[in-house]
Amino acid sequence: MMRLLLLAGLALFPMAAAAQSDLSKKALAQLDALADRIALVDPGEVPETLLLATLAFAELPGERPLAEQVAGLHLGAMEALERKASVLALAGYLDDRLSREAIARVYAATIFYGRNCYGYQDAVRGLARRTPSSAEDEVWLALAALPRSPSWYLTDRSALKARVALIVDAMETSNLVTKARADRLRDLPLASVDSGGGCSGR
């Protein structure tokens, strides 16, 4: 697994470097400062199941690296080509500053989960009507499944169930959990993360 992560990092490095060459020095300085601010985000005590599911989520086919997703969330509107270059450059800066696990924690603490909920602490309250301390593994697995298409997964329980199953499989395949733990997670009921009214927004 470490070899795969290293190869993935090496593959991203030329893209980040190329993106940085497409941006002005002023833009790069702003992105560098933004990376500093993101690195200071306090994600709180991200529940272990959510953290592992988030790391596994990034391993699924078609998913962008977590650093790129965090970068995209923190960038405002801009022209498509400039935005792409900025996302890659900012992701490169984040990779320089934070470990993969730390990026996953920031991701979980800031990503959009649907219905105006940003970050797992708001999402668990606004979508599952639980507190972070009272939510169990099935809730964290369901929340981990939402970010790609929250409006779909919040209204289609069969799609949500399939997405959770994919994430648990990825957790096991990536050696983030043992087979025994993966089997236990597979046996959990599907959480109701559509029972709340959502969040008030940012």
Render pLDDT for 146-191 as a digit per residue (tens, 0 to 9). 998 999 999 999 999 999 999 999 999 999 999 999 999 999 999 9
User: At 18, is the pLDDT very low, low, confident or very high (cuts 50, 70, 90)?
Assistant: low
On whether the CB atoms of residues 135 and 47 are closer than 8 A, the answer is: yes
Beta strands 112-114 and 117-118, pairing class:
antiparallel
Q: How far apart are CA 55 and CA 104, in angstroms?
A: 6
Instruction: Check residue 10 and give its pLDDT.
Output: 38
pTM metric for this prediction:
0.85
On whether the CB atoms of residues 179 and 172 are closer than 8 A, the answer is: yes
Instruction: Check residue 19 and give its pLDDT.
Output: 54
For residue 194, the Cα-to-chain-centroid distance in whole angstroms is: 20
Q: What is the DSSP letter of 72?
A: H
Three-class DSSP category at 113: strand
pLDDT digits (tens, 9 = 90+) for 39-56: 999 999 999 999 999 999
Helix (H) or strand (E) holding 64: none
On whether the CB atoms of residues 106 and 70 are closer than 8 A, the answer is: yes
Q: How far apart are CA 70 and CA 154, in angstroms?
A: 22
- What are the two backbone dihedrals, phi and then psi, of residue 152, each rounded to the nearest 5 degrees? -75, -50
